[in-house]
A and B are shown apart, each in its own frame.
Chain A
Amino acid sequence: MVALDKAETDVRDGVDRETVEAVNAMAGKYKHGWETDIETEYAPKGLSEDIVRLISEKNGEPEWMTDWRLQAYRRWLQLDEPRWAMLHYPEIDYQDQYYYAKPKSMSGKPKSLDEVDPKLLATYAKLGIPLKEQMILAGVDGAEAAPAEGRRVAVDAVFDSVSVGTTFKAELMKAGVIFMPISEAIREYPDLVKKYLGSVVPASDNYFATLNSAVFSDGSFVYIPEGVRCPMELSTYFRINAENTGQFERTLIIAEKGSYVSYLEGCTAPKRDIAQLHAAVVEIVIMEDAEVKYSTVQNWYPGDEEGRGGIYNFVTKRADCRGDRSKVMWTQVETGSAITWKYPSCILRGDDSQGEFYSIAIANNMQQADTGTKMIHLGKNTRSRIVSKGISAGKAQNTYRGLVSVHPKAKNSRNYTQCDSLLIGDKCGAHTVPYIEVKNNSSRVEHEATTSKVDDDQLFYCRSRGMDEEEAVALVVNGFCKEVLQALPMEFAMEAQSLVAISLEGSVG
C-alpha cells in the first residue's frame, strides 16, 4: 500500500505541472460549449402518457417496461417539486421540453462503431473521448498523456437521448462483464433488469427520480458476475447537444459477490441561453465482498456570468451495499451546471460494509449547488467517510447537505465527516447543512466543518515565488481539494485539476 502511494505521488507531481500548463493554454472559459451540427429527430414537445409510450416504443421495450414507466408517470403527476434545497431558479415548464432527441443517423442502429456517423465520432474525439478500442485517456486537450501504459477504458457514449456506441463490448463479454446501453439490456437481459431496476431507487422515490423513471431514454447497464474483477475501467460519457431537450439517463450497476469495478462518468453540453433539464438516476447493487468505485466529473454548461442558460442538474444516485463486506466509493467533481441538486447515497445494509463519499463542488458566477450525501448505517460494523470540499466564487451559492444516520442495530459503526468550504470574494455564499442521527452508543460519529476564505498569506507566498494570481489561486485551491482529487482515477484527477482552475477563472482580481 505504501509503495503504491509513493508511485502515485510521483505521477501526481507530473499531473500538477501539466494541469497548470493546460490551464495556461486554455484562455477560454467553458471549453465544451460548442455544438454539433447534426440532424436530430425529436419526439413531440411536452410530457404525456403518449410521450412515455413513444419513448418505450422507440426503445423497443417489452410491455412490462412500458407499464413500469406509465406507473411512474402517474405517480409523478401527484408529486410536488421539492423546494427544500437552497436553490433559487425559475419555475420549470415541464411541457416546454423535448423528452426524446436522437441523431437521425442513429435510426438505422449501427452494428459496430465503424458504422457510426463520423460527425458523432468527431464530437467525442473533440471532447477527448475517442470512441476507438485503443488506449483511451479521458484527459484534457493538449495535455500530454500521463505515463499509464496499458490502461484501457471502455466507453459508452450517450448523445442526447441515445447511446451512440460502446467500446470493448466483446472483450468485456469474454470476462463475463455486461456493459451496454440500458435500452439494449432491457431487450437482451430483461430478467436482470426487471430484478434490479428500481430496487435501489424506487420509481416513486422522489420527484425527479420518478420523472426519470417515466421518461429515461438511455444510459448504461453494467453487470459484473461473481468473483470477476472488471478487466478495465468502464465509463459513460454524456453529451447534451439538442436544444430545449432534457436528458434523462438511467444507469444500473450490479456487482455480484466478490466482484470489482471502477466506473467513470463525464458530462458536457453546449452553451445556450436557455436552461436545460437533466434528471438522471444511478442505481448500484453491491453484493458480498464486492466493491464499486463510481467517479464523476460533472462539467455541464454552467450558464454565463449573468446566470443565463446552463444545465439544471437534478440527480438521484444511490448505492445499496446489500452484502456483507461490500464497499462503495463515490467521488464527484461538480464544476458545471447552473443548478446542482445531487446527493449520492450509500445504504450500508450488509454487516461490515463501507461507504465513502469524496466531493469537490465548485460554484462560480451565478451557479448554485446543493449537494452532499447520505450514509445510512443499517448493518453492524459499518463504516463511512465523507470528505466534502466546497468552493464558492463570484455570486455563487454552494451548500453541503448531508445525512449520517446510524440505526439502533448498526452496532459498532463509524462515520467521519469532514466538510470544508472556501470562499473567494464577498458576494458568494457557503452553507453547511448536515443531519446527524445516532441511535446506538457503540457507534462513533464525528463531524467537522470549516468555512474560511482563500488564505492571503498563501497567495502572497506563491506570488512572491513568481506565480500570477490565478495560478496561485488554482494551486492553493487544488491543495485544498487534494484529498478528493487523490480519490479519483488518475486520468480523471488530471482533468479534474484543470477543471478546478478553469472553473475559477475570473474569480480573482
Chain B
Amino acid sequence: MAAPARSAEAEARLAGLQLPQSGAWLHLARGAAVSRLRAMGLPVKRDEYWKYTDPTPLTVAAVPVAQVIPGETEGFDGIDCLRLVFVDGVFDAAASDNPALAGVEISRLAEAATQDIHWAHEVYGVLEARGQTPVARPLAALNSALATDGVLIRVVGKVSKPVALVYHQTSTASDAILHHCVKVEDGAELTLLESGPAGARSNTVMEVQVADGAAFHHVRTQGRDHERRTLTHVFARMGNASRFKSFTLTANGALTRNEVVLELIGADGVAHVAGAALGNGMFHHDDTVFITHQGTGCESRQVFKKVLRNGATGVFQGKILVKQSAQKTDGYQISQSLLLDDDSQFLCKPELEIYADDVKCSHGSTSGAIDDTALFYLRSRGVPEREAQSLLVLAFLAEAIAEIDDATIAEAIQARLESWLAAGAH
C-alpha cells in the first residue's frame, strides 16, 4: 500500500526513536501501532489529506529548533482547576497539583508500565486505530507507538473543577510526544483544559470515550510565538445522548495542525468542535475535522474562524460523513477567514458525504477582508482605526467563542484575546 520511499522514511524515523519501556498491554498496543505506521508510511505533501499543509516539519527526524520564550503566561490564570504540568513532554509531579479529586481517577501514562489500568486497554491506540479509516493518519499511529508520557483520566461522576494540562517548553529542540486517554463513564462530566507549548515540536494524541449520557468539555489555547510546530489529534467516540464540546484558541506558531476525528455512535449525541485562530506572519494553521454520524438523531456543529495577516496561511478541511443508519442527523459546519492584508491566504475543503435521506446538513465558507463600511462607521463615531479593527475581529470570532459553555472559561479566553489584540501581538 505504502510507496517504498515513504516506508523508508517511516523506518528512518522509527530507527531514530526508541519504543518506550511499557507493561504488557501497553507494549502490545505500541507494537500494533508500529505495524499500522509501517503499513501506512509517513505522510507526504502529495497526499490528498496533506494537500494544503506540508507535513515535512512534522515527519523529519531532526527537530526544527524553536526559541524558548520566557515568562509566557498560562491560558487559564485565575480559574480554579487541577493542574497537571508537563515540561518538554515529561510529567512534572512537583509542579503539578495532587491528582486526587472526587469523581475522577488520574494516572500517568509512564506509570502504566507497572500498573494494569484496565479501562485504558480499550482506549489506548484503539480509538486512534478506528480513526485510520477511511483516511490514514500515520502520525497519530506514530504517537501511539512512541508516546513518552501523558495522562489516563477516568471520570465516574461530576467533577467539581476542571482538570488542566499545562505544557511548558524549556528546550529549543524538545520533541514532545504525548498521549492522553479519557474515559467519561455513564452520566459523568468533565471539563479538560490544555494550555501552553508542549515542546519545540509536539505530537499530541487524545483519545476520548464518552459513554451514554456523559459530557466532555475541552478548551485549549496554543501557540503564541512564531517557531513551534504542533500536531494534535483528538479521537472521540460517543455513546447515546452524550455531549462533546471542544474549543481551541490558537495564536501564531509556525505550524499547527489540529485534527479532530469524532464518531457519533449512539443516538441523540451532540458534538461541537470550534476554533478561533489568529495568525501573523510565518503562521500556518490547519484545522482538519472528520465527523462520522452513525447513530440517529445526532447533532454536530463545526465553527472555525481564522484571522490572518502578513502572509499567514489558514487551512480548513472539514468533513461530515452521515452513514445510512444516521437518520435525523443535523450537521452544520462553517469555516470563515478574515484576511487583514493581501499576502495571507485561506485554503479550504469543506465536505459533506451523506448516505441517509432524512437529514439536515449544511456548510458555509467565506473568505474576505474586513468590512470597510463597518470600519468607517466605527471610526466616524470616534473609535481609532486599530481599536475599531480589533472590535471587528472580536465580532468575527464571537460565533466560535460562543461555543464555550462555561462562562468563566469563555471570559478567560475572551480576555486573553482582547489583551493580545490590544498589545498588537496580532
Contacts and interface: CB of A to CB of B under 8 A. Distances in A.
Interface of A: 84, 408, 411, 421, 423-453
B367 A444 contact: yes
B16 to A, nearest CB: 33
A451 B347 contact: no
A445 B361 CA distance: 21
28 contacts: A421-B352, A421-B354, A423-B356, A423-B359, A425-B357, A429-B354, A430-B354, A431-B354, A432-B351, A433-B349, A433-B351, A435-B348, A435-B349, A436-B346, A437-B346, A438-B345, A438-B346, A443-B368, A444-B367, A449-B350, A450-B360, A451-B352, A451-B359, A451-B361, A451-B362, A452-B361, A453-B357, A453-B358
A10 B348 CA distance: 41
A423 B340 CA distance: 39
B157 to A, nearest CB: 39
A424 B354 CA distance: 12
- Of A411, A436, A440, A443, chain B has the most CB atoms within 10 Å of the CB of A436
Contacts of A430: 352, 354
B368 A444 contact: yes
B327 interface: yes
A441 B369 contact: yes
Contacts of A441: 339-342, 344, 368-369
Contacts of B361: 450-452
A444 B366 contact: yes
A427 B368 CA distance: 39
Nearest to A427: B324
Contacts of B357: 423-426, 428, 453
Contacts of B358: 426, 453
A363 to B, nearest CB: 13
Nearest to A449: B363
B122 interface: no
B366 A446 contact: yes
Nearest to A414: B368
A208 B40 CA distance: 30
B350 A423 contact: no
Contacts of B340: 441
A428 B355 CA distance: 6
Counting from the closest, the 10 A-B pairs by CB-CB distance are A441-B339, A444-B368, A423-B357, A438-B367, A432-B352, A436-B348, A447-B365, A453-B357, A450-B362, A451-B361
A431 B366 contact: no
Nearest to B319: A433
Nearest to A440: B342
B352 A449 contact: yes
Contacts of A449: 350, 352, 362-364
Interface in B329-346: 337, 339-346
B339 A438 contact: yes
Given A423-B356, A452-B359, 16 more contacts: A426-B324, A426-B358, A429-B354, A433-B349, A434-B351, A435-B348, A438-B337, A440-B345, A441-B342, A444-B369, A445-B367, A446-B366, A447-B350, A447-B365, A450-B361, A453-B358
Interface residues on B, range: 35 or more
- Of B348, B354, B357, B363, chain A has the most CB atoms within 10 Å of the CB of B357
A40 to B, nearest CB: 42
B316 to A, nearest CB: 9
Given A437-B347, A438-B367, A429 B339 contact: no
Interface of B: 48, 324, 327, 337, 339-369
Contacts of A424: 357
A216 to B, nearest CB: 31
- Of B341, B353, B355, B367, chain A has the most CB atoms within 10 Å of the CB of B367
A441 B366 CA distance: 11
B352 A431 contact: yes
Nearest to B362: A450
A438 B354 CA distance: 27
Contacts of B339: 438, 440-441
Contacts of A436: 346-350, 365, 367
Contact of A442 (B324, B348, B349, B369): B369
A451 B354 contact: yes
Contacts of B356: 423, 426
B366 A447 contact: yes
Contacts of B344: 441
Given A434-B350, A441-B369, A448-B362, A429 B341 contact: no
Contacts of B342: 408, 411, 440-442
Contacts of A425: 357
Contacts of A452: 359-361
B175 to A, nearest CB: 32
Contacts of B355: 428-429
A156 to B, nearest CB: 39
B351 A448 contact: no
A87 B206 CA distance: 34
A411 B364 CA distance: 22
A408 to B, nearest CB: 7
A80 B364 CA distance: 34
A421 B357 CA distance: 10
A431 B327 contact: no
Nearest to B340: A441
- Of A434, A436, A441, A449, chain B has the most CB atoms within 10 Å of the CB of A441
A445 B368 contact: yes
Nearest to A422: B357
Contacts of B362: 448-451
A426 B368 CA distance: 38
A360 B69 CA distance: 55
Contacts of A411: 342
A441 B353 CA distance: 30
Contacts of A437: 345-348
Nearest to B317: A435
A425 B327 CA distance: 11
A452 B361 CA distance: 7
B359 A453 contact: yes
Nearest to A423: B357
A318 to B, nearest CB: 22
A440 B346 CA distance: 9
B279 to A, nearest CB: 13
B349 to A, nearest CB: 5
A93 B363 CA distance: 39
A453 B358 CA distance: 6
Nearest to A439: B345
A447 B346 contact: no
Contacts of B347: 436-438
A434 B349 CA distance: 6
A428 B358 CA distance: 11
A430 B359 CA distance: 11
B281 to A, nearest CB: 15
A448 B361 CA distance: 11
A141 B101 CA distance: 78
A432 B344 CA distance: 26
Contacts of A427: 324
Contacts of B363: 432, 447-449
Nearest to A406: B367
Contacts of B351: 431-434
